[in-house]
Structure 1
Amino acid sequence: MSGSLTPVEEAIAHLLSQASVITETRHLPLTESFDRILAQDYHVPADVPPADNSAVDGYALRAEDYVPGQALSVSDRIPAGSAPSPLKPGTAARIFTGSEVPAGADTVIMQERVEVTDSGILINAEVKADQNIRRRGQDLAQGSLALGKGTKIRAQEMGLFASMGVSEVAVVEKLRVAILSTGDELVEPGTPLAQGQIYNTNRFTLLGLLAEAGCDVVLCETLRDTRSVTRETLERAAAQADLIITSGGVSVGEEDHVRAVLEESGKLSLWRMAIKPGKPLAFGSINGTPVLGLPGNPAAVLVTFLIVGMPYIRTCQGRVQIHPVGQQVPAAFTVTSPSVRKEFVRARTESASGDTRVCAYPNQSSGVLSSACWAGGLAVVPEHAMVAEGDLLTYYPFTELLS
């Protein structure tokens, strides 16, 4: 395995080329479908709305029956949910928001522009056809594609399904992921620290990230720093999971066993990426199950998961949108020492006097996870680049990176 650094885009492309799309599906009630991925296309079974309906409370009439200053008698009252009779010529019908417009009517005048008199209604507004009417099929036309395979179901999609009368949807099974933390120094929160010990931060960061990514964690263990335990646990995880994610153990130290086991007993197809933070990133497989080896430093785990891991997971899920969409925002910080690695700066946008700029956390050490709690996303500093205040940088909000 070469010691050269793989560019970020090349590394992502390699991972995506190795991704296997999940083929297992299940049908879920619409009430349980939030945040799942559609396994098939859905076409509109019937027009939405199913009939012309009123957009306001008011009066339905035929525009040509309106004569300025002349009252129109009210011949009907149409509450929402009722089937209206055809409108009698030369009259108006009292109508409410969402009520079906009666045959013969071609406009609705809102009640605020109408004066009710003993002889009928007087209209104090311009009257023309098609006012305040939501036409049949205006939202969705029968037979058209409503939602495509690979769409992530949000609240909006749940509502759209309901509007079509769909009560059950086909979704992709969740990706099964094993989390393996490495290091004899790691202990769980709630345990007093002995000298030389630290809390297992990465386990909990990854649990949260994978939950947001819509994955199931099927195994979550801490590996002791021995070659045999690392090999046995990786092989056991491979039998249970679609993807194994490790943190630590992929650098060049004598106690970094994950990379060594992949080289000896599996396959290592990527190691060391030109990214900051997170250079010691590895990708390979054990017994046919892909292994994504993340660095050990907490901020590097977060960054590499978001930048490399999430596109891979989205591809496995069959998602439509694989890559995040960034914003171009002027920098409020400087970079005077160019790096050979692309840097993902923990940052957030701030506005002053109508001017929005992206600000960097002062300490960008890969061990400073508090920077990510302060930040709203990641700003990208390209390889070999210096940054002056006001230079445009690509900024990815965390919400976009995890959507």
Structure 2
Amino acid sequence: MAPSDQSPAAPLRLDAALALLHRDLAAVAEAENVATAQAGGRVLAAAPVAAVTVPPADCAAMDGWAVRAADLGPDPLPVGGRIAAGHPLAAPVRPGHAYRIFTGAPLPAGLDTVVVQEEAEERPGAVVLPPSPPGANVRRAGESVAPGDRPLAAGRRLGPAELGVAAALGLTELPVRRRLRVALASTGDELHDPGPALPPGGLYDANRPLLRALLAGWGAEIADLGIIPDRPDRLAARLAEAAAGCDLIVTSGGASVGAEDHLRGVVARLGAVRFWRLAIKPGKPVLFGRIGATPLLGLPGNPVSVLVGMALVGRPVLARLGGEDLPPPRRFAVPAAFALRKGAGRREFPRARLTADGTASLVPNDSSGALTAVTAADGLLDLAEERTEIRPGDPVPFLTFAELLR
């Protein structure tokens, strides 16, 4: 039966769709070892066990004077020597002496405190130091990492800080998930790649560049299928071919209810449709299914809907397939600088920006076809299905693009 002949099911709530995805999908990206220097942006496949102590010894947290706290008082302390990072004190500590020490230098046995240099009064061959509690300005051995610790959890995406931790552990390579292979296509006879002049009725395709940038930022390898015309046979052939060599297919357009929207029928014929249409705005015509065993995410045709659908649904799909432990984006309560009414039963994500006084204002153009409304915004508001009215000053959940698109 053709999709247009079916009685469409009620749109699925976003939380129900995400729960279905979690049940349906599992990691498909196998583990491989790569050099630590090349592991940025990859997902850690197993938690490495620390074999070293970080820091390896008690050391100075500040430039200053290393002393025994019990020796501090009004009398000057004779200078016993100088300790720099990478140059431990060669001789035993002399009781009652102060030692010039620099940040990161190991604290010798017998000394327990560092007094910062700004508090010191230097005299020839001696120094006067104020009282200081034992342990002040000292980094303890192992306070960052102890042998046997697992400071990096499996499923974590490796950023600059994580790579720094791995380097501090002395790791030259890391076990990571291979990059997901994602096939990407736009559908629609009206679409054209940027460059040549547009024919009558034509539009430049903004969706593939947008999606390519998102997918690349999330570490995927992309097979660009280009623009597929509105013909079911061509669509079926291209999707079947892509399914044979990819972990995920992402399309935009052709997922709604129009006579030229063929995606749902093609997916149902080649595999299965798990859900179609979400109770959200923008982005209602989101489809998730399979071509054979390969998952397919069908996004709407309007570019704002594409971005919202990819952020809310596509990002969790990639995380699940790639073995990434992705926490849900945080929502920050921000006072509304506007009044708004909405219908019940639909979750809405208006584009908004933060004002200088800490409130959220709506971006004027609310069209799902206007990407300029996204470039003018700082993020999305998350207005729950049951919420029908927002008044100025009411707290509204705010999702920053930094959280959504990380």
TM-score over 0.5 for the alignment?
Answer: yes
Task: Report Cα offsets for 1:189-222 as digits up to 9, x if no partner.
Answer: 0110110110011111111111122211123321
More deviation in 126-135 or 163-172?
126-135
Task: Report Cα offsets for 1:330-371 as digits up to 9, x if no partner.
Answer: 21222224253211111121132xxx1111111211111110
Q: Give the Cα separation in 2 of the matches to 1:87 and 1:9.
A: 64
Structure 1 residue 401 corresponds to structure 2 residue 404: yes
Report if the CA contact (8 A) 1:22-1:173 is conserved: no
The corresponding residue for 1:35 is: 41
Q: Give the Cα separation in 2 of the matches to 1:77 and 1:317.
A: 51
| TM-aligned CA distance change 1:206 to 1:86, over 3 Å | same
The partner residue of 2:168 within 159, 163, 166 is 163
Give ranges in structure 1 of 5+ residues lacking alignment: none
Q: Give the Cα separation in 2 of the matches to 1:322 and 1:285.
A: 25
* Identity rate, percent: 40
The corresponding residue for 2:371 is: 369
Map 1:131-146 → 2, pairs under 5 A: 131-146=136-151
The corresponding residue for 2:71 is: 65
The corresponding residue for 1:152 is: 157
Q: Give the Cα separation in 2 of the matches to 1:35 and 1:133.
A: 34
The partner residue of 1:245 within 246, 250, 259 is 250
Report if the CA contact (8 A) 1:219-1:237 is conserved: no
Structure 1 residue 4 corresponds to structure 2 residue 10: yes
Report the CA distance between 1:23 and its aligned residue.
Answer: 4.0
The corresponding residue for 1:386 is: 389
Report the CA distance between 1:112 and its aligned residue.
Answer: 2.6
Map 1:177-326 → 2, pairs under 5 A: 177-326=182-331
Q: Give the Cα separation in 1 of the matches to 2:272 and 2:193.
A: 31
Q: Give the Cα separation in 2 of the matches to 1:203 and 1:47.
A: 47
- Count of matched residue pairs: 398
Q: Give the alignment's TM-score, normalised by structure 2.
A: 0.94
Q: What one-letter code is carried by the residue in structure 2 that aligns with 1:325?
A: R
Task: Report Cα offsets for 1:93-148 as digits up to 9, x if no partner.
Answer: 22222111111111222233333333x32324114421221111121222122110
Q: Give the Cα separation in 2 of the matches to 1:249 and 1:115.
A: 77
Q: Give the Cα separation in 2 of the matches to 1:357 and 1:128.
A: 45
Report if the CA contact (8 A) 1:314-1:322 is conserved: no
The corresponding residue for 2:118 is: 112
Task: For residue 382 of structure 2, give the secondary structure of its aligned residue in structure 1.
Answer: strand
CA RMSD, aligned part only? 1.6
Report the CA distance between 1:271 and its aligned residue.
Answer: 1.0
Task: For residue 43 of structure 1, give the secondary structure of its aligned residue in structure 2.
Answer: coil
Give ranges in structure 2 of 5+ residues lacking alignment: 1-5
Report if the CA contact (8 A) 2:79-2:127 is conserved: no
Q: Give the Cα separation in 2 of the matches to 1:191 and 1:115.
A: 74
| TM-aligned CA distance change 1:125 to 1:290, over 3 Å | same
Report if the CA contact (8 A) 2:17-2:275 is conserved: yes
